[in-house]
Amino acid sequence: MSDETSFLTPEVTSMPRFSGIRTFMRLPYEPEVQERDFVVLGAPFDTSASYRAGTRFGPEGIRRISSLLRPANVFHKIKPSEFLNGVDGGDIMVIPGNTEASHRNITAHVKAWAEKGAVPIVLGGDHSITLPELRALSSVHGPLSLLHFDAHGDTWDDYWGEKYTHGTPFRRAVEEGLIDPYRSVQIGMRGTVYHPNDLDEARKLGFLVITADEMREIGLQETMRRALERIGESKVFLTFDIDFLDPAFAPGTGTPEIAGFTSAEAQGMLRQLTDIHLVGCDLVEVLPALDSAEITTLTGATLVFEFLSLLAVHKQRTTSSSFSHSK
């Protein structure tokens, strides 16, 4: 891909990584909606959190530490900038205390970029932001498959009588017809719950739920095989709650649960997703104020780079296939 169409970042030989404006991986900052392969957006909203607040600073923290990342993925043997044309679109306007208006803004902004062909990669924020993202993307692509990494199912009906919190987005998404639960997977559920049969509610909605205990019993490779089989060839939204990881690897989050997964295990699982048709993704619940030595924000930024790498691999394959058919 030529320099005119690839995203460009300053070389470390000309500008140290700790300098410059804090966009994600020092991507060009382009707040105006335009045709791109992807856009990184911040959704700094945490009014819907049920315990610790502060994830509104997640996008800022992830962007800041992302300058540490280098541009090539050794595992996939790819440099995303050679295949993808993307930008950092900045933060979406949210209104603290007003969930409805903030969600409406997120939906409008994400939809505008998606209609231009960009795959939105959204940095949260609490997990309620995924619902308006799904509203936006389903209006463009139709009902989606959901691939959900989390310690919690987030399919409760309400919190304190409130229907729109970070514990309810995926029940609302099913009710609104935004996702196909029979093509969707929830991975990593663990920890205490309000009722012994809580996870059965998600299964009744149609989700394939693979708990942390089940994952350790069947193994991570089999877990991902089942997830990929479930998703098939459908269009996929990938949502990653940082509390999927054990607090030892991601202390900076609002509702931590022990007995989670390592950052290496999470990275390895994401790297198996090269065959999915990804149309949007987010990484949520990073809370920098409770982080230690920026390990949570660094992990979040690195996992977002894995999202970008998946898009690049898909673009590489598509480009190679088109070239092959044109010969």
pLDDT digits (tens, 9 = 90+) for 139-183: 999 999 999 999 999 999 988 889 999 999 999 999 999 999 999
Q: Rounded distance, CA 266 to CA 168, Å?
A: 24
Provide the CATH number for the domain around residue 132. Answer: 3.40.800.10
Tokens of 173: 């998404």
Residue 19 belongs to some domain of the structure? no
Angle at which helix 263-270 crosses helix 295-326, to 10 degrees, equals 20
Residue 246 belongs to some domain of the structure? yes
Q: Rounded distance, CA 122 to CA 106, Å?
A: 10
Tokens of 66: 């992302």
Q: Rounded distance, CA 101 to CA 203, Å?
A: 31
**pLDDT tens-digit map of 260-299:** 999 999 999 999 999 999 999 999 999 999 999 999 999 9
Q: What is the DSSP letter of 243?
A: G
pLDDT for 4: 44
Q: Rounded distance, CA 308 to CA 208, Å?
A: 26
Residue 13 belongs to some domain of the structure? no
Q: Which domain holds residue 84?
A: 24-326
Tokens of 315: 């673009």
Residue 8 belongs to some domain of the structure? no
Residue 2 belongs to some domain of the structure? no
The confidence band for 249, taking pLDDT boundaries of 50, 70 and 90, is: very high
Closest CA to 88 of 45, 11, 31: 31
pLDDT for 319: 80
The tally of domains found in the chain comes to 1
Residue 303 belongs to some domain of the structure? yes
Residue 16 belongs to some domain of the structure? no
pLDDT over 50 (residue 10): yes
Q: Rounded distance, CA 286 to CA 125, Å?
A: 7
**pLDDT tens-digit map of 202-231:** 999 999 999 999 999 999 999 999 999 999
Contact 50, 165 (CB under 8 A): yes
pLDDT for 15: 77
Residue 18 belongs to some domain of the structure? no
Tokens of 148: 């959900």
